[in-house]
Structure 1
Amino acid sequence: MALLGLADPLPKHGKTMGYVRVPFSTNDSAYGFIASPITVIANGDGPTALLLAGTQGDEFEGQIALSNLAREIEPDQIKGRIIIFPMANTPAAQAGVRNSPIDGLNLNRIFPGDVRGRTTSMLASYIERALMPESDIVVDLHSGGNSLEYLSCASYVDHLNTDESFRRLALAAAFGAPTTLAMKAFEDRSTSGAARRAGAVRVSAEIGGGGRVSKASVDMSYNGIRNVLDWASILPFPDCQRADTNMMEVEAGRDYHYALHDGLFEPWVSLGDHVKEGQIAGLIHDVATPGSAPQEVHFAADGNVVCLRTMSMTKRGDCVLHLAQLPSDNLLKNLEKAKASTWLKDSYEKNSRQRSRRPKASKGNNDAP
């Protein structure tokens, strides 16, 4: 197994499986490190895809799917490079919890990180400064974790730059999930903002959750990645099947619903339900107070339920569900264009032609005075 330091260059040939050494000195291990699993598969000229999972450690489906891919793919099958980092927040993934048990930090809320900071901050810095600048595209696999469950979907953060947003939409469409969410959200502390700063295009997927794993959710994560790699002309996928995706939009201030009381949450809806503003979403029961009436949670807007809390015990401030809305006409038009887009292949071929036309470096002019 290879051991890579935080400043070591990534392999450019063959298949390398091993660990990234993240320094971690303890009372019991003065010169120790956390071993973050990594696989790099490279062959010839072509785009580079960075595949992430375990950014939040209680999201298991993507970790399994990427581990399967790392085991199966061989260099002679691909054209380009695939970087697989399946337990991005390694201490959190090892413990099966959302945030790192070492420093309490959520990796997907701390980019760009700091190589001189604590463990999670070092991991964020490594991903943004070492892995993402080497990559053309980034796919970050998520789920609802232990507390939430998602309707299976691809997602991307809608960006004010229309070209950037279109590239993300095309990459999300290539994933081939039944639903695609355009998220109107703040991205700078997440892998989305990190990829943008590094010059890569990032999309995500939210598949499953509830602290459990199903074969269907692992298969959807696996097939979505294979669909993307096929679209990118990195790894052919003969069984490529993309769903006719249902496009939706999510706005944080409107669509996320929170508990305002402590108690036991009883949902009155299911994933995929279409709901109306004012409709009861569920009840929060204060069982500890005899005679106490349950508190009603009402929908603040019309929409479709795409995420639902699976933990009954709920505290004030917990997200109990979120909705997604029908897309604008303009977004639907862009989706049809995005499905036919080959922007990555086109831009990579253009850059390759430009590199081939560059004059070779001069070895000196013997006739110079």
Structure 2
Amino acid sequence: MNYGEVLNNAKTIIGKKCRVCKECNGIACKGEVPGVGGKGTGLAFIRNREKINQVKLHLDTIVPEDKIDTSIELFGRTLKYPILAAPIGGLEMNYGTAQLDDFTYSQAIVGGCKDAGVIGLTADGVKDAFFQDPLKAVGENEGWGIPTIKPWKNDEILKKISQAEEKQVPAIAIDIDAAGLVILAMLGKPVTRKSVDELKEITSATKLPVILKGVMTVEGAKKALEAGAYGIVVSNHGGRVLDHTLATIEVLPQIAEAVKGKMKIFIDGGFRDGVDIFKALALGADAVLIGRPYAVAAYGGGREGVELYTQKVGQELKETMIMTGCNEIQDIGKHCVSYSF
């Protein structure tokens, strides 16, 4: 199987919900929630892509030749690339097919990412099985995955963290911006916004690194730091929870300036290839989460498709590093790009 075959397979399977566009930019699917689009006008999703495209690279090949190393250290583990698969749940509702459920999808994501030397995040949802089944897939892969928990009441979150600890996972994530997720609101699930004190209760109850996903301001990043978070994901939930937000890469530089070195900074929102990954690293991210394209890879090729997509993006990152004079991830910085936002 090659990546082209993965895309063709995916289009056949999920083409009615996800068109598998040549550029996944939110235009064709705007407003399709449930579905894969952005909320309302879809402009938050669309803006994510537009602003990434506005960042331009500086070509520089007058450098000593050396080995290109794309690896990073996270959670006490070495990852081949600074790439993670973002958590995606509600598969049948959003992708319009029962071909993959939350368990088999998680098997493809967690296993394929592991095979490629990176880590996949798993999702949570309205039914207990939407957390337990993905967690089972993580357990099948020796804990090589990061469970994501919705912002339920704290006692429920702590219960799920305890279950994750039993699988010896490297970290857990809480997508705090899911408090505004339309689908959960429609189903009447008690997700809530969280105070700093509530988040402190969570981070102090586990030795696992806690990642807070859904931070879009400097103030939010500082509050996450105060709450004891290991890291944040600069994220607007793929444009699915609030219309007309800024793009994630647009707010990344100021957030990185405020908290870089004090906590890990991850980002998602419109990142598609190795060039996009490079841009995020240059503007202050430690690693990048990719969402919708991983779903396409899982539907189109299962575990193998996920591995193929990861290898493709990793190779693109390596090629970009060659052409910008960077040998290691830490060589990538603002001097490598130009941007005007």
Give the TM-score of the pair, scaled to structure 2.
0.29
| Structure label with greater radius of gyration | 1
Higher helix residue share: 2
Q: Which has the higher contact order (CA 8 A, sep 6+)?
A: 2
Give the TM-score of the pair, scaled to structure 1.
0.28
